[in-house]
């Protein structure tokens, strides 16, 4: 099962990278206000899937896996938002909170996949 989550995380990171690449190259972040939303959701999904892969290999308890998924997603998302702020790319506090919420939605989807595959109750 860890291999499945590794493959899913690889696919998600490729999708996230492609979304970000086209967002920058084609100015889609500035053309479409919503472009940021799926990019953040995919980013949260990517981190969550990677944590799922590591957790399944390490046989972590489900609650710890959930906490790691949420914690790492928020840590990476928070670092990304700090970088955006430093570079003057942030849309302000409300935008950062929304972005972290979108990151969390992606992590929640990863948790739902993990819970379904491992029949977590």
Q: With both helix axes pointing from N to C terminus, report the angle between 36-58 and 2-25 in degrees, rounded to the nearest 10.
A: 160
Query: How does pLDDT run along the chain (121 residues), one tens digit per residue?
Result: 678 889 999 999 999 999 999 999 999 999 999 999 999 999 999 999 999 999 999 999 999 999 999 999 999 999 999 999 999 988 899 999 999 999 999 999 999 999 999 887 6
Q: Hey, is 52 helix, strand or coil?
A: helix
Per domain, the residue ranges of the chain are 2-117
Which tokens is 104 given? 């969390």
Closest alpha carbon to 50 in 68, 63, 36, 75: 68
What is d(CA 21, CA 95) in angstroms, rounded to the nearest whole number? 20
């Amino acid at each position: 099962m860890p291999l499945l989550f590794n493959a899913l995380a690889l696919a998600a990171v490729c999708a996230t990278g492609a979304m970000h690449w086209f967002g920058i190259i084609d100015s889609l972040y500035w053309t479409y206000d919503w472009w940021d939303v799926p990019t953040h959701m995919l980013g949260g999904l990517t981190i969550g899937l990677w944590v799922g892969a590591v957790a399944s290999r390490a046989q972590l308890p489900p609650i710890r896996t959930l906490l790691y998924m949420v914690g790492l997603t928020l840590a990476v998302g928070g670092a990304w938002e700090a970088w955006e702020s430093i570079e003057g790319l942030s849309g302000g506090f409300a935008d950062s909170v929304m972005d972290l919420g979108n990151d969390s939605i992606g992590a929640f989807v990863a948790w739902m996949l993990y819970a379904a595959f491992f029949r977590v109750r």
